[in-house]
Structure 1
Amino acid sequence: MALNNTYDARLVQQETAVGAGVQILVLALLGTAIGMGPAGWVTGLVFAVATWAVLSRALHRSGLRTFGPANRVTLGRATLVGGVTALVADSFVSAPPVSLLVGLTAVALLLDGVDGKVARRTGTSTALGARFDMEVDAFLILVLSVYVSMALGPWVLLIGAMRYAFVAAARVAPWLNAPLPPSTARKTVAAMQGICLLVAGADLLPYAGNFAVALLALALLLWSFGRDVIWLWRESRTTGGTEGTGADTAPAGKRSALELELELELAGR
């Protein structure tokens, strides 16, 4: 049995290595197609290595014996996000083909709901898979906000940075570690961020239109986060600020509110 477990673990780790290899292949294709410069290459390679390292560590800690079809879809999306990241980094030196960047982003966004459906149909929903899915989404939004900010201004970076700021704040304010109730509005707002940034980045609208679309995305995100923070604060007043820190919730107390929310998100993954 121990030998089988070791063999399964090696197979799972091999899949992450294959993912890194595919990422490098995508970079090679992009580099050949557009003559990508050093900035794009370095950023893309760093993304590939970081994704492989973080995912391998998470798989080792989770003890999963199979990578699963849903995680393969998410890994494919991560590969596309890596390509987008390389193109955005390269855009600081030379303007990338907008159609290529938009195409990769659009496919990544369209596949966002596929991994969840695959997980439910195959009965392979896991906390790791949901977290992987969430991190890929969050990083894509961050990269897109960087790209759009070059045309509309640094304020757009608030869209991509807000989720990470919330996680950082949860380390300082323990009451933010409480789990949030399910919310269709929250999911809708989150999905709209990628769409709005894609529209603004595609530059199909005049400057005022792109500005309005990005501003709408930020306004909705501020409303969604603000509503959740207020709810969490009220809950902390009710529970005396002990939510997520008691012995009955450990190790939940060591996780962020977004990680705790995964338990609720799994129902929709």
Structure 2
Amino acid sequence: MALGTQVILAATAVLAVIYAVVLYALPHHRHRRFGAANLVTAIRAALVSMIGAAFFFADGLHPADPAMWPLLMMIACALILDGVDGYLARETRQVSDFGARFDMELDALFILFLAAAVYLMGKAGIWVLLIGVMRYLFVLTSCFAARLRNPLPPSFRRKLVCVIQVAALCFALVPFVTSPVSDLISATALVLLSYSFAVDITSLLTRQAAQA
């Protein structure tokens, strides 16, 4: 597989949209500098854009394609950088709601791309897309349920489950991992994600009910 024009154009378009949204939200950034942490997240956005474009637009990409290994390395790099940006934000004392939202939305997009890739590569059924769309369904539901729009406190469990999603989907994409193993890995990731969302939703509804 070669990175054709359509892959490069698609990756550029996705990245341009991401950066446009970031620039739109930048005035809400409470620090004077963009910051090293946000810069790392911006680099990760470029990797995520290329990964998504490769799986959706590369000609002839299949699970046994040698190009899968470079793609998996890019996924691994993006996963590692996901830990670096948070560390830098804490070390440079530039933790902000802007940076946290930038990181969170990019994680959601990354997981959506990976879930779609697992399906497109025939590693799991269409149900695996639930991993990628679950957060967006939650956001959509919150538009009609005010209780779900309340902020959630930081959670190690939430961060851990996010990392597990990326790692599991990445492992499912490894060329020598085939069904039913890839199905089992993806299903386990989906169950953990469903549990995490169930805990958060229950917390939001219970808290609101107690306040009422």
Same fold (TM over 0.5): yes
Q: What is the CA distance between 1:115 and its match in structure 2?
A: 0.8
Q: What is the CA distance between 1:183 and its match in structure 2?
A: 2.9
Question: Over aligned residues, Cα RMSD in angstroms?
Answer: 1.7
Residue 94 of structure 1 aligns to which amino acid in structure 2?
G
Computing the radius of gyration from Cα coordinates, the structure with the larger value is: 1
Describe the shift of the 1:78–1:222 C-alpha distance in structure 2 as closer, same or farther (beyond 3 A). same
* 1:221 matches 2:189: no
More helix, by proportion:
1
Task: From 55, 71, 80, give the equivalent of 2:38.
Answer: 71
What's the % identity of the aligned pairs?
36
Counterpart CA distance in 1 for 2:30 and 2:80 is 30
Counterpart CA distance in 2 for 1:184 and 1:209 is 28
1:13-24 equivalent positions in 2, closer than 5 A: none
Counterpart CA distance in 2 for 1:128 and 1:204 is 40
1:104-156 CA-partner distances (Å, limit 9, x unpaired): 10100011111111111111111111111111111110000010012112111
Gaps of 5+ in 1: 1-32, 241-269
* 1:187 matches 2:155: no
Aligned to 1:80: 47
Q: What is the CA distance between 1:64 and its match in structure 2?
A: 4.5
Gaps of 5+ in 2: none
Bigger relative contact order, structure 1 or 2 (CA pairs below 8 A, ≥6 apart): 2
Counterpart CA distance in 1 for 2:84 and 2:12 is 26
Counterpart CA distance in 2 for 1:126 and 1:234 is 28
Task: From 91, 96, 99, give the equivalent of 1:126.
Answer: 96
1:78-227 equivalent positions in 2, closer than 5 A: 78-91=45-58, 93-95=59-61, 97-150=67-120, 151=122, 152-227=124-199
Q: What is the CA distance between 1:101 and its match in structure 2?
A: 1.2
CA contact (8 A) 1:180 1:228 kept: yes
Instruction: Count residues with an aligned counterpart.
Output: 206
Q: What is the CA distance between 1:37 and its match in structure 2?
A: 4.7
What TM-score results when the alignment is normalised by the length of structure 2? 0.90
Counterpart CA distance in 1 for 2:159 and 2:188 is 16
SS at match of 1:124: coil
Describe the shift of the 1:181–1:129 C-alpha distance in structure 2 as closer, same or farther (beyond 3 A). closer
CA contact (8 A) 1:70 1:119 kept: yes
Aligned to 1:245: none
